[in-house]
Amino acid sequence: MAITRRVFLASSAATAAIVTNEWMAPRSAGAQSKVLNLYTARHYGSDTKIYEGFFNKTKIKINLVEATADKLVERIKSEGRNSPADVIMTVDAGNLYRAQEDGVFQSIDSQVLKAAIPENLRDSGGRWYGFTKRTRVIMYNKEKFDQDKAYAAKVNGIKTYEDLGKDDLGLKILVRSSSNIYNQSLMGSIIETYDEAAAEKWAKGLVRNLARKPEGGDTPQLQALAAGQGDLAISNTYYLLRLEKSSKPEDREVAKKIGVIFPNQKKNANGDAKLGRGAHMNISGAGVAKYAPNKDAAIQYLEYLATPEVQKMFADNNNEYPAFQKPTDFDEDLMRAETLGKRNQLAIQVMDRAGWK
């Protein structure tokens, strides 16, 4: 097979045994030209088509190791110079920046990647690159919107992320925990746009407007929104698209009830650059591991991810936005992904002080 998969979610000792068994192949020059060891925190079955496409094009076999970003970094650090990792891939700029700070990436100079990936979606030092974009937006209950004029009027007044922190919002918000990296990056963008004090004030307002204590992932927020347990939800758009495309009728019914607000659009900003900065964008991305035994294959894989062919696969198979293509139906925030990472720790502190559990 082109892909060998190992999933590690257990203890460090169990993990060590699995990975040792995974990487028994000799590291000769010949082996290096045929193997790529991919450590990934993207747990999407649809990515299998990308791995298969790379093998068909290059005949380089992918050894796949899957875990959370934190566990991947922990494993690579424990492996040290003997780490077999060639490429590290994860979701969210916050995770990429943390991995960068932990020293598990190496800088590469690829003209292909520089040409294909916009500057704001990659590390300035060439250590990681964003290959997909995802936007975190505000969602509402369309069914209630059509039936309740008071609710519709309030929803029509929601134009920005800033609106979610208003004392007189009159709507209850569903959102996952502050421990979620997506929310941390959104918080980081608010800090960068304004300042720490203003961001904390906003977060405290949002907490006062919560429909319930944060729980679950983005999909449960949408299910709760459809069930009338809140008035608005914060979610990445691809979760809604997954429900729309689901084989389960109950998922599609949830999706039918949900509408999307793309916040901070220029048309609603009255010339205010901050209010018209665009909908918050984040990425999933990857970089070459610091001690990659198959560095040439690793760079080749990253360049493959930047091709129009694979960018279309990301969009079609997991409902993400291609890295190099601007959305046609909304304005996007062009804040550097690197900045979201740099603001991550401060974002966590602000959320804690605001009581965002």
CATH of the domain at 273: 3.40.190.10
Structural domain span for residue 315: 3-133+283-325
What pTM was computed for the model? 0.89
**Mean confidence (pLDDT) of the chain:** 91
Label residue 318 by pLDDT band (50, 70, 90).
confident
Q: Are residues 267 and 175 in the same domain?
A: yes
With tokens 């000799």, the residue in question is 26
Q: Are residues 149 and 175 in the same domain?
A: yes
Does 123 map to a domain?
yes
Q: Are residues 18 and 100 in the same domain?
A: yes
What backbone phi and psi angles, to 5 degrees, belong to 55? -65, -45
Does 227 map to a domain?
yes
Number of domains comprising the chain: 2
Average pLDDT for 221-244:
97
pLDDT at 34: 87
pLDDT beyond 50 at 9: no
Average pLDDT for 72-88:
96
pLDDT beyond 80 at 22: no
pLDDT beyond 90 at 5: no
Does 334 map to a domain?
no
**Exposure pattern of 334-347 as b/e (b: 16+ CB <10 Å)?**
ebbbbbbbbbbebb
With tokens 């991947």, the residue in question is 72
Does 118 map to a domain?
yes
Q: Are residues 191 and 70 in the same domain?
A: no
Label residue 250 by pLDDT band (50, 70, 90).
very high
Q: Are residues 275 and 300 in the same domain?
A: no
With tokens 């966590």, the residue in question is 348
What letter represents residue 13's amino acid? Answer: A
pLDDT beyond 90 at 16: no
Does 109 map to a domain?
yes
Does 199 map to a domain?
yes
